Amino acid sequence: MRAVHFLQQDYRSTNGREKPWTVGERREVPKPDKLALCEYGYHACPTWEDAFLGDLIYGEVACIVEVQKPKADWQNDHKLVSRSRKLIRAVDASRELRRFAADCAERALKRERKAGRETDARSWEAIRVARLFADGKAASDAASAAWAASAAARAASDAASDAASDAARTAASAAASAAWAASDAASAAWAASDAASAAASDAAWAARGAERRWQAKRFAYWMDVATKRGGK
């Protein structure tokens, strides 16, 4: 069956103990009877959405892989383990990861604007620069400046004590995530997933769940864009 996986820029897995992978290569574990989820075997996720929801974005190289259909005890909600894995397609998705983080941040800021709470202009600038950097149209120093600006905006919102400050911090944090994406795409994807955080109430947690689902779908969209673009 087809599944998805992430590798680091050097095509090594996160643990780094194996040699780099090559497209078309198939590997099999020497002890298939010892398969154990999260412990032994070749791991993957059924979909891009699963990779996001399970916080399993361990690198910037998005991969389409082929694995055996898992038994019941070889999978959980978002991950599976297999005796073998074949690398079908791999592409550097750092640009798409940055665009995804910017999308999440922009959505958070728009939500604030709709609620009548305009966030610091530096947060919007951070998103703009992050997208330019993702498309190769902004230098790293500009991206760093945008990150610093959005971080300042976040610090300012942290100083607030009124009820609206939780949502304001959310928006500013999301903008910082987008700027951070200019230098660390995979980590930014993790950080962007926190864009729905707000006050700890039942309604807020329900909203956070809905936002995570939106983010998962958006993440899947960008990874589809990346893998269809092609790679090594």
Residue 11, pLDDT score: 95
| Other CB atoms within 10 A of residue 118 CB | 12
Give 146's pLDDT tier (boundaries 50, 70, 90).
low
pLDDT tens profile 155-198: 444 444 343 444 444 444 454 455 444 445 555 444 444 444 44
CA separation for the pair 209, 216 (Å, rounded): 11
pLDDT tens profile 82-112: 999 999 999 999 889 888 888 888 888 788 7
The structural domains of the chain, with segments of one domain joined by +, span: 2-92, 95-227
| Other CB atoms within 10 A of residue 132 CB | 17
pTM for this predicted structure? 0.76
